[in-house]
Each structure stands twice: as structure tokens, then as C-alpha cells.
Amino acid sequence: VCIIGDFTNASPNEKALNAVRLWIDCAIKLGYVKEDHYIITHRQSQRPHYTDW
């Protein structure tokens, strides 16, 4: 699961975070995610002088 956007100056909004929480809760209830799961986060750093091709 990922939240896509430019979060350089702000975090994802509460609506997006709640959607992820609800998805995880649903996945636990359906047996796709263990109740004692853990979350690994990743953030892409901004590359200076990067241009889209």
C-alpha cells in the first residue's frame, strides 16, 4: 500500500491516512494481514536538478 504525492513540505492528509488504516483493518479481518503486523515506511528524497524526461 502506498500514498502517492509530494510530501516534501507536508505529510499526507488525515483522509489518506484513515483510508490506509481502514484498509489494514479490513485486511486483518479477512485474514490477509496478521494482527501483529508491522509497517515499514519509505520516503523518496528529492533529487536536486532532477528533470522529467
Flag whether 35 is in a domain: yes
Is 49 inside any structural domain?
Answer: no
47 is a domain residue:
no
Q: Report yes or no on 16 lying in a domain.
A: yes
Q: What is the pLDDT of residues 1-43, one digit of tens each?
A: 888 888 888 889 999 999 999 999 999 999 999 999 998 888 7
Residue 2: per-residue pLDDT: 87
The Cα 36–Cα 10 span in angstroms is 29
Stated pTM of the model: 0.69
Helices (H), 1-53: 14-29
What is the count of structural domains for the chain? 1
Residue 18 covered by a domain: yes
Whether residue 45 is contained in a domain is answered as no
For the chain, what is the radius of gyration of the CA atoms?
Answer: 15
User: How far is Cα 26 from Cα 38, in angstroms, rounded to an integer?
Assistant: 15
Does 50 reside within a domain? no
Query: Which run of H or E residues covers position 36?
Result: none
In a domain, 8, yes or no: yes
Domain assignment of residue 2, given as a range: 1-40
